[in-house]
Amino acid sequence: MAMIHLLDDDMAVTDACAFLLESLGYPVTCWEEGAVFLTQADLYQTGVLLLDMRMPVMDGKSVHEALRQRGSTLAVVFLTGHGDVPMAVEQMKHGAVDFLQKPVSVKPLQTALEHALEVSEQAVARQQIATCYRTLTAKERELAGLVVKGLMNREIAQAMNIAVRTVEVHRARVMEKMQAANLAELVNKWQRLKETHRVE
């Protein structure tokens, strides 16, 4: 199950939020310091970080920036006081999913978490596809591009100036490396790669 991380230096807020999260059935890990969270948490799982905007030493904005630089798949939802709303909105322009004003109530929290978990799941899926793509050789990438355009093996062989049997072997390797059970799945994954500008 996806983990909810709660990063806030105010123990009263942390306790109240953790209680709400547990009552909604979410597993929660609480953190008081950004640096500790960044070194000890799994930043590449499906999950959500509920992040306080104002903390000593390392504030929420800095933690969010560090997550972005590391390519974390955690979705970020900011916890804000009234005066921090403009800052939270600014962070949403940089990839934060939402912000909640303190004190946090159940319904907005649940809605924000459901959306954030979807965002995180999509990020994990994109990362897995990109990892698979990186295992392809240049020849396999070229061939895969032709396969997803709908070319038959014979047409691919002519386009790449290789034997049909070689196309079949490369095609099987592409399917295996991309973890695609069928052509439709390969096309879907290729489309996701296009959306992230990894392929043309």
Q: What is the pLDDT of residues 120-170, one digit of tens each?
A: 999 999 999 999 999 999 999 999 999 999 999 999 999 999 999 999 999
Nearest to 133 by CA among 73, 196, 70: 196
| Strands annotated E in the chain | 3-7, 28-31, 47-52, 75-80, 98-101
Amino acid code (one letter) for 81: G
What pLDDT was estimated at residue 87?
A: 79
Q: Cα(191)–Cα(79) distance, rounded to whole angstroms?
A: 34
Are 28 and 58 in contact, with CB atoms under 8 Å apart?
no
- How far, CA to CA in Å, does 146 sit from each of 69, 141, 158? 33, 9, 11
% of the chain with per-residue pLDDT over 90:
78
Interatomic CA distance for residues 49 and 187, integer angstroms: 32
pLDDT surpassing 80 at residue 88: no
Q: What is the pLDDT of residues 62-86, one digit of tens each?
A: 999 999 999 999 999 999 876 677 7
pTM above 0.85, yes or no: no
Average pLDDT over the chain reads 92
Q: Is the pLDDT of residue 102 over 90?
A: no
Q: Comparing 31-40, 78-87, 155-164, 176-185, which segment has the lowest mean pLDDT?
A: 78-87
Output the pLDDT for position 82.
Answer: 67
Would you say residue 200 has pLDDT above 70? no
Distance of CA 56 to the CA centre of its chain: 27
User: How confident is the model at residue 197, as a pLDDT?
Assistant: 66
CA distance 101 to 122: 26
